[in-house]
Amino acid sequence: MGFRKILAVLLCLCALGGMAAWAEEGYSQDIAEAVNKFLLKYMEGGAKMFTFDQDEGVFRTTLKSEGTARLLGCVVVIADSFFRTYVVSPIGVDPSEPSKLAAMAEFICRVNYGLFGGGFEMDFNDGEIRFRSFVDCSGGLIPSEALIGNSIVAGTRMFERYLPGIKDVLFNGTSPKEAVEKCEN
């Protein structure tokens, strides 16, 4: 792995560590172990570049993607009976520009309508855009590799599809409706 790539991954991990509190109160060691095994087995480079906060039950890593979403942040938050996966956009909205926040909020609402298994979110305080998915592990279910992988891949695929529209809205002044239509056609 080249120096630039390692530096980019480390910077992304640091940024993910500085975000708002992710943790739930208490978490399942069994779910955490399943996610840990998945990351070690399937993530690029044997997942040498991920962190796990044992106090909070939170994994942080980066994802390499195709197209315009080349490097995405990823946070997996473990709870007692579920886990959430957040795939974080490489770009966000400048929170000092209310018109951009409003346009992105409309874009996200249009994209989310009818989505199954997750959705985009935006933090109005700092402009972060992310895709959230949820996996229910009630009744002691230990998530399979497929469930864990799908929760991560879902966000990656959504950014591959919709990041061009996010960029159009933020940088080209494209209307949210038109940007969504371009992404979905």
The CATH class for the domain spanning 3-184 reads alpha beta
Q: Whole-prediction pTM value?
A: 0.83
Q: Which helix (H) or strand (E) holds 77?
A: strand 71-78
Domain boundaries, the chain: 3-184
DSSP H helices, the chain, are 3-17, 29-42, 98-112, 145-171, 176-184
Q: Within 10 Å of residue 124's Cβ, how many Cβ atoms?
A: 13
The proportion of the chain whose per-residue pLDDT surpasses 70, expressed as a percent, equals 82
pLDDT in tens, 34-83: 999 998 887 765 445 788 998 889 999 888 777 666 788 899 999 999 99
